[in-house]
Structure 1
Amino acid sequence: MPDKLDDELRIALMRIARRVRQQRHDDTLSDSQLSVLYVLTHHGGSTLAALAEHERVTPPSMNRTVNCLVEEGLITRSSSPDDGRKVLIEVTDAGTELVNKTRQRRAEWFAAELSGLDTAEYAALHAAIPVLLKLANS
């Protein structure tokens, strides 16, 4: 049975994640679509299967997400230069711009929130970073 710390920490992290997700440049994209754009921007071109595995969804679900992003002009599909049978999915300039603007908006929001902390709160949060990263990467 979780104790009070478990509940409070879990709820706080969920609320922070929700607040960060709300800071986006384009409100019409789903979290899944934006996540795919982030992956492609960060890791480069990918196959549908690799994207599905990375996002932990089924290939048909990823195909629907990719189709929407292609229709919006945010990603492209092309034959892989290594293997013409494979389809390579890549982010377009418009997709990269959307990701960059969303990152900037989120960074500005987070910086503003952090600036409201006093010195002790900021130090406590800074000290917690290694533990939070350990939990995030587990």
Structure 2
Amino acid sequence: MRQIKFRAMLSDKYYAHPRMVPWDELLERFDALHIFDEYCMTLMQFTGLLDKNGREIYEGDIVKLHQVVLSPDDKIGWVEYTAQYGYSIRFGKRRCRQSDWATDEGANYEVVGNIFENPELLEAYK
């Protein structure tokens, strides 16, 4: 069973500048009833998957994907959730569904940042 947890991008109302806060810190430091009204800019859910380095993959993460069979070049995209496709990696206007990238033994994916703190990583791939 997939573990349900989140992380949040908190606004500068709480910190000196917006900051990504992991699940444990959210539970420990914030009142769940008020965090979304006052501090939370965006809430991101854990996909239940780990990258090749064992790092948890969340919505909004920027990942580098290398699929030996489909493409010899690494691709950079971001993880998003939609009701129609579930979790997928977006490469500009193209989409790689979770069923394609999360189960392919020939694929390697690695979290290299997130869309809030590292948007420049996607500039070359738009």
Q: TM-score scaled to structure 2, two decimals?
A: 0.24
Q: Which has the higher contact order (CA 8 A, sep 6+)?
A: 1
Which structure has the larger Rg over C-alpha atoms? 1
TM-score (norm 1): 0.22
Q: Quick check: which one's helix share is greater? A: 1
Report the structure, 1 or 2, having the larger strand content. 2
